[in-house]
Structure 1
């Protein structure tokens, strides 16, 4: 009985949605704009004196393993 009522309800909602007036046309006003391309020059200096530090980890999943190895209070062993 519950299945029959559910099917009838779904059909009723589907037919009700289909009967709605969907002939409403939305008019969209379009605007055209001119685009001017500008070539910008970027100066780069080679052999500058800045030193940057790069970190190298032996394992590619180092950060993931570090985050997953957390401990909580419930992980600690209890004395009986």
Structure 2
């Protein structure tokens, strides 16, 4: 699990190539987040992606490789 909740200065996600077995990514309240590193789409083990209240987010990441994704939380993403 990676918990970046409340990282209010986070504009772009980090490179996830070193975390291929990541199962949960929580970015709730990252109010300045606008972009995703392309590697997020290749997290094959990711089951939970929480983007709640990411108010600056204008588009979703490519989820092509997210074969295990079960839960995607987008409530409060008012710019989507």
Which structure carries more helix by proportion?
1
TM-score when normalising by structure 2: 0.12
Give the number of the structure whose alpha-carbon radius of gyration is greater: 1
Which structure carries more strand by proportion?
2
TM-score when normalising by structure 1: 0.12
